[in-house]
């Protein structure tokens, strides 16, 4: 083993001993994405708490390693060649919720569905549009998840984040610069630790009914029986991405085992053995069709992680 490799292994050993959480080498990301696709993370860390997270961030900085954060992995495509550097998974170890009347302080690893369930038990909601969204709180706030023109951001009062230097600070609602499927967390190397939501008092039965309706609609309209990652493209300002993809004849298009769903054209499904390359190639082809037929560039909602340099996607001029 070269001296460089020996030093690197020693350094990983130091990280492993310094934190309470898990450190894994070459962990397959297909285990951590709803698409069930993705190569290995060079170093995969599941911090136990915020101290672990800060230790990991400082370690990555000292070792000049890039960082990628993953929550439930329900809105990402990970390259078949994996992710270089450190992948930090914020999930079940960040799982506390503290309710105080209509407010609830929720840690980033709590699933959105768990928050809704716990709220419902206390006659609290105001986020009925979010039933069925499978993300964790961190990813859902970073993405400003929502549906039917309603967004999670409307219920977020503030969040606590940590930057890649390991400094923790608070950002109020207005400082997060929320927009459609956007918050500044996406652009500024920030990791969400927890968030304060203000929920609305509501009758239990009413919330339960809204949940059922919402889940029935999702079952009817979305191909939830297949591995997928939600909407591939953002809706253009005046129409739906699903509609334009359908009108451009994209439904059913297939590359390998990746297929544009027959049920909902803005969903790509993994029929079994799709690769990330199949999926992103299909995205490129769908974009090209829509551009040709509708003179419209569809922007990605889904996030890409790892190397996709050999597939050129269209981007809107900023
Ligand atoms: C069947 C299905 C239906 C869906 N329906 C909807 C829907 O109706 N509406 C909708 O908006 N979305 C929907 N989605 C997409 C997805 O569930 C949401 O975007 C979700 O909120 C993402 O959360 P996540 O934890 O899975 O994030 P991930 O996919 O893990 O990550 C998404 C992004 O957030 C970042 N991130 C993750 N955790 C953190 C953190 N702690 N701090 C900072 N950044 C972080 C990641 O780096 C990445 O850029 C659906 C997905 C599926 C599979």
Q: What is the pLDDT of residue 9?
A: 83
What's the mean pLDDT in 30-56? 98
Is the ipTM value over 0.95, yes or no?
A: yes
Give catalytic residue positions. 181, 231, 301
Q: How much of the chain, in percent, has pLDDT values that exceed 90?
A: 95
Q: What is the pLDDT of residue 180?
A: 97
| Planar angle of CA 267, 268, 271, nearest 5 degrees | 130
CB 77 within 8 A of CB 229: yes
Distance of CA 3 to CAs 27, 66, 84, 122, 316, Å? 24, 22, 20, 58, 46
Q: Which residues pair with 163 in a beta bridge?
A: 190
Q: What is the pLDDT of residue 25?
A: 96
pLDDT digits (tens, 9 = 90+) for 242-287: 999 999 999 999 999 999 999 999 999 999 999 999 999 999 999 9
CA of 5 to the centre of ligand 1 (A): 35
Distance, in Å, from the CA atom of 117 to the CA atom of 123, rounded to the nearest integer, reads 10
CB atoms within 10 A of CB 277: 19
The residue whose CA is least distant from atom 9 of ligand 1 is 146
Whether 97-206 and 224-305 share one fold: the answer is no
Phi-psi sector, 305: left (phi>0), alpha (psi -120 to 50), beta: beta
Q: Which is nearest to 88 in space by CA: 112, 107, 66, 115?
A: 66
Sign for the pseudo-dihedral over CA of 218, 222, 226, 227: negative
1.20.200.10, 3.90.78.10, 3.50.80.10, 3.30.390.30: CATH of 224-305: 3.90.78.10
4 pLDDT exceeds 80? no
230 pLDDT exceeds 80? yes
The residue whose CA is least distant from atom 37 of ligand 1 is 139
pLDDT digits (tens, 9 = 90+) for 181-216: 999 999 999 999 999 999 999 999 999 999 999 999
Fold of 10-89: 3.30.43
As a whole number, the mean pLDDT across the chain is: 96
Return the best residue to mutate from 66, 116, 143, 185 for the ligand 1 pocket (most ligand atoms within 8 A of CB): 143
pLDDT band at 233 (very low <50, low <70, confident <90, very high): very high
Distance, in Å, from the CA atom of 259 to the CA atom of 221, rounded to the nearest integer, reads 16
CA of 212 to the centre of ligand 1 (A): 22
Structural domain spans, the chain: 10-89, 97-206, 224-305
5 pLDDT exceeds 80? no
Q: Give residues (CB < 6 A) around ligand 1.
A: 34, 69-76, 90, 108, 133-136, 138-140, 142-143, 145-147, 185, 191-192, 222, 224, 228-230, 303
CB 112 within 8 A of CB 135: yes
Torsions phi, psi for 234 (to 5 deg): -75, 150
The residue whose CA is least distant from atom 50 of ligand 1 is 230
Domain spanning 97-206, CATH architecture: 2-Layer Sandwich (3.30)
316 pLDDT exceeds 90? no
The residue whose CA is least distant from atom 12 of ligand 1 is 145
68 Cα nearest atom in ligand 1: 47
CB 76 within 8 A of CB 304: yes
The residue whose CA is least distant from atom 52 of ligand 1 is 230
Return the best residue to mutate from 131, 139, 154 for the ligand 1 pocket (most ligand atoms within 8 A of CB): 139
Q: What is the pLDDT of residue 17?
A: 96
Torsions phi, psi for 56 (to 5 deg): -65, -45
Q: What is the pLDDT of residue 3?
A: 67
Distance, in Å, from the CA atom of 278 to the CA atom of 257, rounded to the nearest integer, reads 7
């Amino acid at each position: 083993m070269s001296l460089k490799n020996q030093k690197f292994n020693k350094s990983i050993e130091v990280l492993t001993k310094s934190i309470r959480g898990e450190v894994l080498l070459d962990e397959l990301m297909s285990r951590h994405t709803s698409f069930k696709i993705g190569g290995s993370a060079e170093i995969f860390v599941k911090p136990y708490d915020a101290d672990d997270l800060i230790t990991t961030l400082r370690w990555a900085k000292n070792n000049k390693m890039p960082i990628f954060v993953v929550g439930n992995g329900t809105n990402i495509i990970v390259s078949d060649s994996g992710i270089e550097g450190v992948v930090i998974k914020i999930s079940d170890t960040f799982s506390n919720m503290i309710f105080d009347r209509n407010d609830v302080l929720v840690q980033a690893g709590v699933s959105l569905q768990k928050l809704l369930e716990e709220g419902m038990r206390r006659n609290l909601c105001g986020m009925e549009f979010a039933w069925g969204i499978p993300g964790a709180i961190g990813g859902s706030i970073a993405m400003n998840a929502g549906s039917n023109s309603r967004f999670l951001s409307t219920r977020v009062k503030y969040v606590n984040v940590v930057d890649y230097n390991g400094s923790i600070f608070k950002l109020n609602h207005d400082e997060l610069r929320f927009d459609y499927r956007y918050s500044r967390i996406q652009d500024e190397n920030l990791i969400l630790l927890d968030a304060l939501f203000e929920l609305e008092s509501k009758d239990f039965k009413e919330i339960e009914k809204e949940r059922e309706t919402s889940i029935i609609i999702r079952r009817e309209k979305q191909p939830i029986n297949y591995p997928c990652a939600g909407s591939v493209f953002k809706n253009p300002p005046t129409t739906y991405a699903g509609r334009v993809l359908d009108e451009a004849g994209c439904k059913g298009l297939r590359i390998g085992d990746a297929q544009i769903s027959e049920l909902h054209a803005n969903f790509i499904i993994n029929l079994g053995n799709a690769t990330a390359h199949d999926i992103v190639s299909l995205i490129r082809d769908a974009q090209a069709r829509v551009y040709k037929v509708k003179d419209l560039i569809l922007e990605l909602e889904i996030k890409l992680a790892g190397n996709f340099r050999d597939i050129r996607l269209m981007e809107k001029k900023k």
